[in-house]
Amino acid sequence: MTHTTEPSSGADRQGRGAHARVGGNDKGGHSKEPRGKGGKGLHRRKFLGGMAGAAGLAAVGAAGVTFSMLTGGNNSKASAADATGTLTIPDLLEGTTSGTTTTYTLTAQTGTSEVISGVSSTTAGYNGSYLGPTMKWTKGNTALLNITNSLGDDTTVHFHGAHIPPKMDGGPQNAFADGVTWSPTFEILDEAKTLWYHPHALGTTAEQVVHGLAGMIIVEDDSDVSAALPSEYGVDDIPIILQCLAVDTAGDIKYEATGYRSSGVTFPVLVNGTNVDSTTLGFTATKKRTRFRVLNASPADIMTVQRGDGGTLTQIATDQGYLTEATEVTAIRLVAGARAEFVLDLEDAVTLQAVVTTGWIRGGSGTYDFLTVTPEATDTPADLPSTLNTITRYDTSAFTARTITLGQGTGATMTIDGSAGLTMAAMAMISTTLDAEEVWTIKNSTQLEHSFHLHDVPYQLIEINGETPTGVDLGWFDTYEVVGGGSIKIAMKFTDFADDTYMYMLHCHLLQHEDEGMMASLMVTDS
């Protein structure tokens, strides 16, 4: 093994420090919580009805995973079992750097974890039993990853949101078998932003991701803006990986329609792998300004982050990097797969809430007080830079226009442009050329919610349901909501990478829809 994780990371110091300050009592972490809306009990999930009726469908596939599950006797500690009441920070994956190349080692492996309290679930993770370590990439450097598959099933690792060659992208064409090590390498062209990595093999993405195969990637750059923002991982730069799962009483994690409808299924919300159904985690901010990077790694649900006291969050970034300027927002709504960054300059404790908006047949909506941030800081942060980024809005008048239709096929299939992409051969293929400039209308012909994700390059939103975007919707995206019957118009340029064998993907990031065929390929060739 060439990597080490960092046991003395800031994350660990933070965890212990916060624990000590609350005296080992997990209530202490939120004793100062402002209860603007009348107490925590009211903010817990309110289940919708309607799930129990289909229990008869549960027999098929209810056993869950197809990984060859060795029992997890020697697994590393499950984060959910770390019931200190403090926010768990995923380890930072230390690479080995030689020249400008940093080598990272990841193993996709199985394990066990408590996704509902007191019940051991069969799970999977990278270098651990659930989720994966956070990688930091530096713009201009080269990353080399040695990724070993120990899942007992094919997998891939996709670098969601990264602008890298299609051969390195980790799409379905990059699937590799159990026991194999895949070693993609690429230069980091992306500017500062928050990405993530997760499996992307055909038909098994939902299953593998919900069992825990997901991790965050922080791209750093040397811009003045990045230097002016909090960047000490686990101290004032905090990853928040939100997941709303579906789990039965035996701990089986569900990932498709039959499973979601089976009896006894509940829909726990996890933050960095810790169940927050009946706990508000604590985080002690030792700097007055804290940056949060939020990833919605849920298979389907929309997660909205807001303050319990109704105050604003200072949003600084969308999926694909900095906004033109820091923007005060009362809520950040993330569809499955999307990310955002915000900062808080805190004088008093504040509780962050996650509001779950359910997709399709999934469980129920609800509001969770998931984290109380308590400042214990004496510093005075400088004003935020007045300009964070320059985003030149595309003039799409000369762009090539396409319409891409999200639809439902026969049986349990979902389609793009009429094709259920269950195999590479069956999926619709968008063919374009290097440096093409395009404007796409993504039309949702279903009444279901979809989350439209494009690999390779960021896009700008030109229209959302016929309206001109405003505010944070003027940022850069790779994953965006398309409401039932609605549409978005997006514009992009296919820069840098062409290949006549390997393709990028475009798809719904509701993982079940993706696995049911709502995926098309994108072939960018030399002109």
Which residues bind to Cu ion, rule: CB under 5 A?
A: 450, 508, 510, 513
- When asked if residue 163 is in the footprint of ligand C2O (CB under 6 A), the reply is no
Q: Where are the alpha helices (DSSP H) in 234-387?
A: 257-260
Q: Which of 88, 507, 512, 516 binds ligand C2O (CB under 6 A)?
A: 507
- When asked if residue 455 is in the footprint of ligand C2O (CB under 6 A), the reply is yes
Give the amino acid at 403: T
Query: What letter does residue 76 receive in the DSSP assignment?
Result: P
- When asked if residue 513 is in the footprint of ligand C2O (CB under 6 A), the reply is no
- Report how far apart, in Å, the C-alpha atoms of 90 and of each of 56, 132, 134, 219, 334 are: 38, 7, 6, 16, 21
Site size toward ligand C2O, by CB under 6 A: 10
- When asked if residue 289 is in the footprint of ligand C2O (CB under 6 A), the reply is no
Minimum Å gap between C-beta 508 and Cu ion is: 3
- When asked if residue 362 is in the footprint of ligand C2O (CB under 6 A), the reply is no
Give the amino acid at 211: H
Helices and strands (H, E) in the chain, number of each type = 5, 35
- When asked if residue 160 is in the footprint of ligand C2O (CB under 6 A), the reply is yes
Binding mask 330-349 for ligand C2O (x = CB under 6 A): -------x------------
Span of 87-95, 187-195, 287-295, 502-510 interacting with ligand C2O by CB under 6 A: 502-510
Name the token pair of 199.
């499996």
Choose among ligand C2O, Cu ion, none what residue 443 binds, the Cβ cut-off being 5 to 8 Å by kind.
Answer: none
Choose among Cu ion, ligand C2O, none what residue 450 binds, the Cβ cut-off being 5 to 8 Å by kind.
Answer: Cu ion
- Report how far apart, in Å, the C-alpha atoms of 261 and of each of 44, 171, 210, 450 are: 22, 29, 16, 20
Residue 524 phi/psi, 5-degree rounding, is: -105, 115
Strand duo 142-150 + 181-182: pairing: antiparallel
Task: Indicate the residue among 123 and 479 with the shorter CB distance to Cu ion.
Answer: 479
N-terminal to C-terminal alpha carbon distance within the chain? 42
Neighbours of 321 (CB within 10 A): 23
Choose among Cu ion, ligand C2O, none what residue 261 binds, the Cβ cut-off being 5 to 8 Å by kind.
Answer: none
Minimum Å gap between C-beta 320 and Cu ion is: 20
Choose among Cu ion, ligand C2O, none what residue 453 binds, the Cβ cut-off being 5 to 8 Å by kind.
Answer: ligand C2O
| Cα–Cα distance measured from residue 299 to residue 454, given in angstroms and rounded to the nearest whole number | 17
Taking CB atoms, the residue at the shortest distance from ligand C2O is 160
Task: Indicate the residue among 248 and 456 with the shorter CB distance to ligand C2O.
Answer: 456
Task: Indicate the residue among 293 and 509 with the shorter CB distance to ligand C2O.
Answer: 509
| Cα–Cα distance measured from residue 462 to residue 441, given in angstroms and rounded to the nearest whole number | 9
Query: What letter does residue 500 receive in the DSSP assignment?
Result: S
Task: Indicate the residue among 79 and 446 with the shorter CB distance to Cu ion.
Answer: 446
- When asked if residue 288 is in the footprint of ligand C2O (CB under 6 A), the reply is no
Task: Indicate the residue among 265 and 518 with the shorter CB distance to Cu ion.
Answer: 518
Choose among ligand C2O, Cu ion, none what residue 160 binds, the Cβ cut-off being 5 to 8 Å by kind.
Answer: ligand C2O
- When asked if residue 450 is in the footprint of ligand C2O (CB under 6 A), the reply is no
Minimum Å gap between C-beta 452 and ligand C2O is: 11
Task: Indicate the residue among 115 and 157 with the shorter CB distance to ligand C2O.
Answer: 157
Choose among Cu ion, ligand C2O, none what residue 513 binds, the Cβ cut-off being 5 to 8 Å by kind.
Answer: Cu ion
Strand duo 459-464 + 487-493: pairing: antiparallel
Angle (nearest 5°) at CA 177 between 174 and 181: 75
| Cα–Cα distance measured from residue 247 to residue 239, given in angstroms and rounded to the nearest whole number | 24
Q: Say if CB 522 and CB 498 are below 8 A apart.
A: no
SS (H, E, C) 368-414: EEEEEEEECCCCCCCCCCCCCCCCCCCCHHHCEEEEEEEEECCCCCE
Q: Which of 11, 89, 472, 505 binds ligand C2O (CB under 6 A)?
A: 505
| Cα–Cα distance measured from residue 160 to residue 139, given in angstroms and rounded to the nearest whole number | 16
Minimum Å gap between C-beta 215 and ligand C2O is: 12
Site for ligand C2O in 264-283 (CB under 6 A): none
Site for ligand C2O in 197-226 (CB under 6 A): 198, 200
Minimum Å gap between C-beta 283 and Cu ion is: 33
- When asked if residue 30 is in the footprint of ligand C2O (CB under 6 A), the reply is no
- When asked if residue 307 is in the footprint of ligand C2O (CB under 6 A), the reply is no
Chain-centroid distance, C-alpha 17:
27
Q: Say if CB 444 and CB 450 are below 8 A apart.
A: yes
Q: Say if CB 376 and CB 29 are below 8 A apart.
A: no
Q: Which of 289, 453, 489, 513 binds ligand C2O (CB under 6 A)?
A: 453
Using CB under 6 A, list all residues that contact ligand C2O: 158, 160, 198, 200, 337, 453, 455, 505, 507, 509
